[in-house]
């Protein structure tokens, strides 16, 4: 899963781009729910939020480093739960 750092300028453009609704406005900045972020695996070739973020503040979450296989399994789980 990816995470949003405190360099976020709350520009609002990433939230509607997320295919998993993993991005939400937190207390101060936008945040990503790790359990819902597949790094866009299953939907797109590239993470959509990273593509669109003007300040490049969305790295991989150091506590949620996942393989493509794990991300694909998360995608399948999310798909079957909706």
Residues that bind ligand SF4 (CB under 6 A): 2, 4, 8-14, 17-18, 20, 22-23, 30, 32, 37-40, 47-49, 52-53, 55, 57-58
Q: Taking the complex as a whole, how short is the minimal distance between the CB of residue 78 and ligand SF4, in angstroms?
A: 9
Q: Which of residues 13 and 76 has its CB atom nearest to ligand SF4 in the complex?
A: 13
Minimum separation from the CB atom of position 34 to ligand SF4 (A): 9
Return the number of the residue (8 or 72) whose C-beta is nearest ligand SF4.
Answer: 8
Question: H or E segment at 68?
Answer: helix 68-80
| Residue 50 neighbours by CB under 8 Å, 6+ apart | 2, 56, 58
How far is the C-alpha of 61 from the C-alpha of 82, rounded, in Å? 25
Looking at the Cβ atoms of 17 and 72, the one nearer to ligand SF4 is: 17
The C-alpha atoms of residue 28 and residue 45 are separated, in whole angstroms, by 30
Record the tokens describing residue 63, joined without a space: 């506590």
């Amino acid at each position: 899963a990816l995470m949003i750092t405190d360099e976020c300028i709350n520009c609002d453009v990433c939230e509607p781009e997320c295919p998993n609704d993993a991005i939400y406005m937190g207390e101060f900045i936008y945040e990503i729910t790790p359990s819902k972020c597949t790094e866009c695996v299953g939907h797109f070739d590239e993470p959509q939020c990273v593509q669109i973020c003007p300040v490049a503040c969305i790295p991989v979450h150091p506590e949620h480093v996942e393989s493509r296989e794990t991300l694909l399994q998360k995608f399948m789980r999310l798909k079957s739960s909706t």
